[in-house]
Chains A and B, each alone.
Chain A
Amino acid sequence: MKLESKIPTGPLTEKWDKHRFEMKLVNPANKRKYSVIVVGTGLAGASAAASLAELGYNVKAFCFQDSARRAHSIGAQGGINAAKNYQNDGDSVWRLFYDTIKGGDFRSREGNVYRLAQVSNSIIDQCVAQGVPFARDYGGTLDNRSFGGAQVSRTFYARGQTGQQLLLGAYTALNRQIGRGQVKMYPRTEMLDLVLIDGHAKGIVVRNLATGKIESHAADAVVLATGGYGRVFNLSTMGLGCNVTAAYRAYKRGALFANPCFTQIHPTCIPHTGEFQSKLTLMSESLRNDGRIWVPKKKGETRPPNQIPEDERDYYLERKYPSFGNLAPRDISSRSAKEVCDDGRGVGPTGYGVYLDFADAIKRLGKDIIEQRYSNLFEMYYLITNEDPYEVPMRIYPAAHYAMGGLWVDYNLMSNIPGLHIIGEANFSDHGANRLGASALMQGLADGYFILPYTINDYLARVGAGNISTDREEFRTAEKQVEERVEKLIAVNGKQTAESFHKRLGNLMWEYCGMTRNEAGLKKALELIPALREEFWNDVKVLGEAGDMNQTLERAGRVADFLEFAEIFAHDALNREESCGAHFREEYQTEDGEALRNDKKFAYVSAWEYKGVGQKPELHKEPLEFENVELATRSYK
């Protein structure tokens, strides 16, 4: 299989304009003859569904939550990047492009990333027009802050709830179209299979989670906006419903899965406290603007933090990376935290935590300013830990977060299956091996508002309106397979809950495929995952009926897919014999412990093709070409 990225020729700055001109359009009067399925209603899905409906397409939108407004984009706290240069501090489209490519450790496509930076400004305008209440200055203009590894202030924010406010913006745009009848919304509905007709994606099979009913939906194109797979680690910053199922089902139907081992470990989360824990709560990384990260210099320190004198503290990020300090990128901050904790200098009951201290900032700026900036985060921290961060430093530790990897797409955001488009976190395209803070919201909305609504025209215009019926054989077969799988899950009738399998999978992924990886560990994971999967299918217990709301059945189905997906993840991590971005292979590091990239051998996208459960997937390589940037060693010293 040859992977064609379809990046337009010509100078980088003109590619998108040129492409927009060259793509086919669908005549306004003909748009109503087409229908599009959008799965997922987070930033990418809701914005795409709304924008496609505004153009006149008939849209069916699906989400597993009880309302489109609850997609996990809502959890993003810190902000959204754009190259507005409102702060006059030297930002530009080119700088945002360069920072993103560099931040991704040169494992993403120049063409895609440049386009992302180009459309970033329109996103802010669109959101403001929808009524998103971004933070403003006294003069009434939009405020910015610097965020996660950027040396310019380009991050727009709405208190600590930027994701929520942007999602509500997209959700209201979607609601407007639902009200007009241009979008038909299916909440509490989970996609369980993709249906291909003559090799093209033309529909999906879903389960209504309220009634258990399995049904098919057909359309001229399918868009997956189903988010990331961070929950393969079980404990993560993701919502508990986040899953890989829709993406994995598409993979099993032939869509390639790209760079699955690129998963971000977020440095600032509330540390793990016990076995019962269901999730790790993220504390926005914006806190690193004013908080200083440190651990005691002495191993096994028992004094409370405010009794440890200044000269006995190790502000390790400031020490190791003087120019970026506490704002060093996420992968670097996370690994540094692990390093000091592995060294026995971690804090808190488990020893896996570091301090994030606001004492200096409160002294410098006053409590009022800190309150204005972070009050909701401080309150959230207090509710969870019962400790007041105005008085004692926060304790934080890295946790599994965003998936840079995802289904493979070309420049048109279309996968190798014609008609199947993948947007937002669910695709692999723009963040390379590591995503910069405040760029996830930017990419989700870029895909949904400004890229997919252009590129999907080209596909639709080429294939024509199909008027496909769900009575076709292909739908019947897929429905039958979905039903059989649901029945199979219930029929196992074993002793262990899906939840307990998820925990065990998560523990093994964290240990062998987590913040750092090595060959022996990855090979071990490749032995343990299939064994755990076998145990699951022999001993999982699902109670209740298939024809009703059944949350244990939902969970079991998702865990079953994670148990297969985890294996591609480990294969990918094993194959990539280099350290880049969030993927750190212990065998490949410099003398002072920094990541050692291998551009000669690994400047490619790994795209994996399904070959059967338990079979090694086939690797396809898409070489990455860099014409405009020099592949530098990422240094934040």
Chain B
Amino acid sequence: MNFTLHVWRQKNARDKGRMETYQAHDIAPDMSFLEMLDVVNEELVAKRVEPIHFDHDCREGICGACSLVINGIPHGGKKGCTTCELRMRNFKDGDEIYVEPFRAKALPVVKDLVVDRSALDRVMQAGGFVSVSTGAAPDGNAIPIPKAVADKAMDAAACIGCGACIAACKNASAMLFVAAKVSHLAHLPQGQVERERRVRNMVAQMDKEGFGNCTNYYECEAVCPKNISVEVIAKMNREYLKALRKPVK
């Protein structure tokens, strides 16, 4: 298969950036999107052009490092699939493909397709945890948790923190990401003690980082590679409202 790629190139955070066009030759349908970029990069190096930079690591859809907006859709638009899992067989021979970084004020470009997602870490540092120091835990079976509840918590916990939800949202809202963590811990008995504090602090940090608000377009759910449901956003909103009504502990 052959493709024409239009790729965002930006030398560093200070550079203005622009789209460049490259050809991808002899691409096997079994290749992943990133392997296709590897092949293009090898050719670029041979031509003494600095290769396209992009974040990636596990290449099996779990680490959340890979990103990319492909033809306008974060992770390329295949349901439940990260860019590294996306295979070239999902494209047609001869396609033109546009490749851009995740774009949001809170996720500035570092270089080419690499963006700085540390804002997400800071939201987590603001409260996305249970304050239990090592050694202080009761027996794992001390508190039974109904299977349905554990499953719900697991559904929300499956978030890989890639940031596609933000890139897909016209408000650059991080609600799906933040709500997944809030919802995961709010479902579990272990998360109850800090329930109100957590949601208040995480939402405050989210706002401080410059993420937008949710206006219920559900683009986030559509692109989430782990199929996190927007139900978690509704859950977070309820949690937040309840928390506001309670005095700060």
Contacts and interface: CB of A to CB of B under 8 A. Distances in A.
A142 B143 CA distance: 10
Interface stretch (A129-137, A147-155, A529-537, A560-568): A129-137
B200 interface: no
A172 B128 contact: yes
Interface string B178-219: 000000110010110000000000000000000000000000
A457 interface: no
Contact of B12 (A128, A141, A543, A549): A549
Nearest to B191: A131
Contacts of A449: 134
A273 B30 contact: yes
B28 A135 contact: no
B72 interface: no
Contacts of A549: 12, 53, 110-111, 114
A156 B140 CA distance: 11
A173 B160 CA distance: 17
Contacts of B191: 131
Interface in A60-94: 65-70, 72, 74-75, 84, 86
A7 interface: no
Contacts of A69: 64, 121, 161
Interface stretch (B43-51, B164-172, B235-243): B43-51
Contact of B117 (A66, A125, A379): A66
Nearest to A552: B51
B95 interface: no
Given A54-B133, A129-B137, A175-B125, A136 B87 contact: no
Contacts of A557: none
A499 B161 CA distance: 28
Nearest to A125: B137
Contacts of A168: 157
A75 B60 contact: yes
Given A172-B124, A552-B45, A130 B132 contact: yes
Interface in A351-389: 379-380, 383-386
Given A136-B145, A172-B129, A173-B129, A128 B137 contact: yes
Interface residues of B, number: 78
A136 B147 contact: yes
B145 A140 contact: yes
A239 B185 CA distance: 28
Contact of B38 (A239, A380, A499): A499
A562 B126 CA distance: 39
> Among B58, B81, B133, which residue has the most Cβ atoms of chain A within 10 A?
B58
A75 B58 contact: yes
Contacts of B128: 172, 175
A50 B134 contact: yes
Interface in B21-78: 28, 30-32, 34-35, 38-39, 42, 45, 48-51, 53, 55-65, 78
B190 A281 contact: no
A56 B49 CA distance: 49
B58 A543 contact: no
A380 B60 contact: yes
B248 interface: no
Interface string B147-180: 1001101100110110000000000000000000
A154 to B, nearest CB: 13
Contacts of A277: 35
A142 B140 contact: yes
Contact of A274 (B28, B60, B140): B28
B120 interface: yes
A281 B35 CA distance: 13
B42 A133 contact: no
A175 B111 CA distance: 26
Interface string A118-131: 00001011111111
B11 to A, nearest CB: 7
A464 interface: no
A168 B89 CA distance: 33
Contacts of B144: 136, 139-141
B57 A72 contact: yes
Interface of A: 47, 50-51, 54, 65-70, 72, 74-75, 84, 86, 122, 124-131, 133-142, 156, 158-159, 161, 163-165, 168, 171-173, 175-176, 178-179, 185, 187, 210, 239-241, 273-274, 276-279, 281-282, 379-380, 383-386, 449-450, 453, 497, 499-500, 541, 543-544, 548-549, 551-552
7 contacts: A54-B134, A136-B146, A239-B58, A239-B63, A383-B86, A500-B42, A543-B48
Closest 10 CB pairs of A and B: A140-B144, A129-B137, A172-B129, A179-B125, A239-B57, A125-B137, A133-B154, A128-B140, A133-B153, A51-B134
Given A178-B121, A240-B56, A383-B87, 11 more contacts: A66-B114, A67-B64, A124-B140, A128-B190, A129-B190, A131-B185, A131-B191, A140-B145, A165-B154, A383-B61, A499-B38
